[in-house]
Chains A and B, each alone.
Chain A
Amino acid sequence: MTASVTEEIEVTAEDHRLARLAALAVSLMWVDAALPSPLPGVKPGLANIVTLLVLRRYGFATAAWVSGLRVVAGSLLFGSFLTPGFMLSVSGASASLLVLWLAQALPEKWFGAVSLSVLAAFFHIGAQLAVVALWWMPSVNLMPSTPVFAAAAWIGGVANGLLAERLLAKEYHAATA
């Protein structure tokens, strides 16, 4: 992310790649928003598939950039920048990235995209619930609703992980064919 401010911002191939991947993630956010949700706040989180693919393909730093850009650009498109919803996105994405960073230590031989996706999903909803419980509604006991959110995270995490695994393999087959 080096840019010279004197003349013109130099755009590297890496920047283009980041922008392309973030745009892909943002478009998946739109798909997410268009899908009917059984519960307010429960979404499949399809954009996280992009984060997983980028993590495995380009490494953690790129994944963090794509995730961050996705949250900011997405919020600008949805008109939610700096709103409470945006705070939830930021906290969820940050917690996901944190656990993904830690989960890199897991041996890839045994732990595939499903593991990463499930971990990320649980941390995502966990951070969001923590923000709501500790910051927004400290007087409301959210705990009885946690099983529902956890179940939604599990389903979304597994589904996204299976999809990401397929896409990674497809990429792998295409590259080696």
Chain B
Amino acid sequence: MVARSEVMSGLLYGVRSGDWFTAGLGAVLVLALAWHYWQPGAGERLLVKRGGNVFLETSLARDRDVTVNGPLGVTRIEVRNHRARVISDPGPRQLCVREGWISRSGQAAICLPNQVSVEVVGKAGGYDSLSY
């Protein structure tokens, strides 16, 4: 906030309080975009397996519903907003349903009785350790 009559010197000559506000708002926008689109560690793809075999590999960026038929019945999975979860499963203990939303690379929800697993994998598709 340098007065207009002041000597013309300094990089910020003539910058007013509102300018700080506008530039600050712009910087916030840039950071928000970067934060939103470049979230570090966020998984890229979702790997759904049935009985140890890949049933479906899909992008987390695309919202969709997946139903998988296992030995006990139907396991329902949903992908929303770069996250995935098991909505319902016929298994007795509901461990994979209680796992909740998974979004980070390496996170998984495993419905063992129904032989269905849902795993988030990174860009490189790191098949870590997932076996029955």
A residues in contact (CB < 8 Å) with B = 106-107, 109-115, 118-119, 122, 141, 143-144, 146-147, 150-151, 153-154, 157-158, 161-162, 165-166, 168-170, 172-173
Contacts and interface: CB of A to CB of B under 8 A. Distances in A.
Interface in B24-39: 26-27, 29-30, 33-34, 37-38
Q: Is the contact region of chain A dominated by helix, strand, or loop, or is it mixed?
A: helix
Given A119-B22, A154-B26, A172-B4, A165 B33 contact: no
- 4 cross-chain pairs, A with B, having the tightest CB-CB distances, nearest first: A110-B18, A111-B18, A147-B34, A165-B14
A118 B23 contact: yes
Nearest to A161: B19
Interface of B: 4, 8, 11-19, 21-23, 26-27, 29-30, 33-34, 37-38, 61
Given A144-B37, A146-B33, A112 B8 contact: no
A122 B29 contact: yes
12 contacts: A109-B16, A110-B19, A111-B16, A111-B19, A111-B22, A114-B15, A115-B18, A144-B37, A146-B33, A147-B34, A154-B26, A162-B11
Given A146-B33, A150-B29, A151-B34, 11 more contacts: A110-B17, A111-B18, A112-B18, A114-B16, A114-B22, A115-B16, A115-B18, A147-B33, A154-B26, A165-B13, A166-B14
Given A112-B19, A144-B37, A169-B4, A162 B30 contact: no
Contacts of B30: 147, 150-151, 154
